[in-house]
Amino acid sequence: MSEAAYSEDHIRSLDWKEHIRLRPGMYIGKLGDGSSYDDGVYILLKEVLDNCIDEFVMGHGRKVEVNINGPRVEIRDFGRGVPLGKVVDVVSKINTGAKYDSKAFKKSVGLNGVGTKAVNALSTYFRIESYREGQMKRAEFDRGTLRKDEKLEPTTEANGTRVVFEPDEQMFRNFQYRDQHIERLLWNYCYLNTGLAIVFNGQRYQSKNGLLDLLETKMDGEPLYPIIHLKGEDIEVALTHANHYGEEYYSFVNGQHTTQGGTHQGAFREAVAKTIKDFFKKDWEAGDVRTGIVAAVSVKVIEPVFESQTKTKLGSLEVEPGGQSMRSFVGDFMSRELDNFLHKNPQVAEVLQGRILQNERERKELSGIRKLARERAKKASLHNRKLRDCRLHLNDPKKDDRKLGTTLFITEGDSASGSITKSRDVNTQAVFSLKGKPLNCYGLTKKVVYENEEFNLIQAALNIEDGMDGLRYNKIVIATDADVDGMHIRLLLMTFFLQFFPDLVKNDHLYILQTPLFRVRNKKETIYCYSDEERQRALIKLGKSAEITRFKGLGEISPDEFKHFIGEDIRLEPVMITREAAVQELLGFYMGKNTPQRQEFIIGNLKVEKDLVAEMKVDPVKVIAAKLDEVEEEA
């Protein structure tokens, strides 16, 4: 084999914007289309907002205005404004900014002077305006290239900074901002900065009680005991227990939501278990103490070290360079404040002890079943090939690959799973094949997860028996046919995850695969349509004589076509729990035993049956009764 030529001609020096556009993942993580909370378009938004929040934290400006119209984002703060002579530099010169002066920004969110430069480089339009003491400076850019550098001019605007940008659609293909993700981001800023007001498209967001408000909003149903809210210097904590499985955490560093946790979250989990065991003088297992916990922890750290530019996981071992360790800082606070709280509130301590003892009993009852279930899952994985894993896990099964973009498709039937298996990226995409419809598990205990073969194997494939820390895939995608049976299977799987692993849904790991319903083509072009409206537009474009194919199931789509729908052109609909959603109420209504309310809902939505009644003059009572019996049987 001949060696490739290698000379001085092969050495390149990229300027700042070329490097960001060539390697965007280094600066904003994945690109994405806006369906995931951590997609790049939200990181761009966050990078600009972080600067506004830093101004508020330092006592300048109590309001931030955010307006999003289609792809265009406009953010206005009322801080001090960027120094007018440095407006161009701070958004176009790497390693330029005030964040390097630790006296000015002691506990800032952004430290590397990169954020707004990345926004600039990855936007087709970027404008910054700074207002200071009656003067304004404006500059405009296109993909990082300066297009307008205007002279200073007088203004009546209040001090502050305005940034307007439009993400580059060449980088963020088919992207769309989703209000749910934006609202979650904005609420987190408000919970961590009491007194701050954010106005998003005219709606005001503000929190008075910090992390206490956060938990009250996030919780589904009532807590077992009133939320414990503890505050100290550079640390704030809120926690309670609820009637669900698993552990649910919301952790923050300097106002940054660390979705993958880190050293502060690990220290908190350890400190909670130790403090409670010490208070009761019991040698309980840590898992029994924490099962059912819902908690939020926020710390402020000098010069934090994150594991990536997107700051989703804290790596700092100390609260400041050369200072107290994170473990002892959080541990000392919890052992003092939580212990004091439990001594002063014996009724809370009593309820907490009851939950721990319940967890202990359930764990012991399940111990034998869990052992048999693990052995059964291992045997099924080896011999029945329910799971067609991806190479990343097969080559290094112990490695934490959540950051690498691995995906598990859960699909129904041999034909559908066969199409996905032949079309997938074998390095990062795995396939789990269901056998028939799963059990409706609403209202059942976790014992059913181990006794039901399908649920046991799904749990084993995901490696979530002991919590989300072991989750093997970043995305779990439900891929079912676009028919009544497919929708039913979709609902049954969603019920399973919401019932036993709600934190998996709340942390944005569950998605629905959208596949085209129609293929419209002529001799020159093929268009795939995901709705009847898209089909109509395709017919207008290609002509009424174009051939139309209706895809009834995933197995009808050829592997050559399917690879596009789970590749670059993949469309995923995230399963999200909104602020208003009461999960147990929703599950009880749709998946529980029949109720008069659900009967009314079914009657009000029996469009097909109503037409049948009108056309065939059949007895409507009999039609509705038959439908209710059918639904009750399925539930």
Cα–Cα distance for residue pair 257/299, rounded to 1 Å: 11
Higher pLDDT, 539 or 28: 539
Note every long-range contact of 142-149, with CB atoms under 8 Å and residues 24 or more positions apart, other chains counting. 143/17, 143/21, 143/168, 144/16, 144/17, 144/20, 144/21, 144/92, 144/117, 144/120, 145/17, 146/88, 146/92, 149/88
- To the nearest whole percent, how much of the chain has pLDDT over 90? 44
* Strand ranges inside 52-205, DSSP E: 63-69, 72-77, 123-132, 135-142, 145-149, 153-154, 160-167, 197-200, 203-205
Cα–Cα distance for residue pair 111/76, rounded to 1 Å: 21
Domain 384-515+551-592 has CATH 3.40.50.670: yes
pLDDT at 469: 77
C-alpha pair distances (Å), 279 with each of 231, 271, 289, 403, 561: 20, 12, 12, 38, 61
Residue 112: pLDDT band by 50, 70, 90 thresholds? very low
Got the DSSP string for 497-546?
HHHH-HHHHHTT-EEEEE--SEEEE-SS-EEEESSHHHHHHHHHHH-TTS
pLDDT at 380: 63
pLDDT at 310: 63
Q: What is the mean pLDDT of residues 457-466?
A: 87
Residue 430: pLDDT band by 50, 70, 90 thresholds? very high
Average pLDDT score, the chain:
84
Q: Which amino acid is at 107?
A: K
pLDDT at 508: 85
pLDDT at 74: 97
Q: What is the pLDDT of residues 328-358, one digit of tens each?
A: 999 999 999 999 999 999 999 999 999 999 9
pLDDT at 610: 44
Bridge-based pairing of strands 256-257 and 248-253 is: antiparallel
pLDDT at 568: 77
- To the nearest whole percent, how much of the chain has pLDDT over 70? 85
pLDDT above 60 (res 618): no
pLDDT at 620: 47
- Give the range among 154-163, 247-256, 332-341, 369-378 with minimum mean pLDDT: 369-378
pLDDT above 90 (res 226): yes
Residue 631: pLDDT band by 50, 70, 90 thresholds? very low
pLDDT at 103: 46
Q: What is the pLDDT of residues 34-88, one digit of tens each?
A: 888 888 999 999 999 998 988 998 889 999 999 999 999 999 999 999 999 999 9
Q: Report domain extents, the chain.
A: 16-205, 211-360, 384-515+551-592, 593-634
Cα–Cα distance for residue pair 273/260, rounded to 1 Å: 20
Q: What is the mean pLDDT of residues 537-556?
A: 88
pLDDT at 6: 55
pLDDT above 80 (res 179): yes
Q: Which residues are CB-contacts of 11 (< 8 A; sequence separation ≥ 6)? A: none
Homologous superfamily assigned to 16-205: Histidine kinase-like ATPase, C-terminal domain (3.30.565.10)
Instruction: Report the C-alpha dihedral over residues 27, 33, 37, 41, rounded to 10 degrees.
Output: 40
Topology classification of domain 211-360? Ribosomal Protein S5; domain 2 (3.30.230)
Q: With the C-alpha atoms ordered 602, 607, 613, 616, is the resulting torsion angle positive or negative? A: negative
What tokens appear for 110 in the block?
A: 């952004």
Q: What is the pLDDT of residues 133-157, one digit of tens each?
A: 999 999 999 999 999 999 999 999 9
Do 211-360 and 384-515+551-592 come out as alike in CATH topology?
Answer: no
Got the DSSP string for 362-381?
HHHHHHHHHHHHHHHHHHHH
Cα–Cα distance for residue pair 31/323, rounded to 1 Å: 37
Higher pLDDT, 606 or 272: 272
- Give the range among 167-176, 463-472, 530-539, 585-594 with minimum mean pLDDT: 585-594
Cα–Cα distance for residue pair 41/167, rounded to 1 Å: 7
pLDDT at 615: 45
What tokens appear for 287 in the block?
A: 């898992």
pLDDT above 80 (res 101): no
What tokens appear for 154 in the block?
A: 């007088």
Residue 5: pLDDT band by 50, 70, 90 thresholds? low
Residue 225: pLDDT band by 50, 70, 90 thresholds? very high
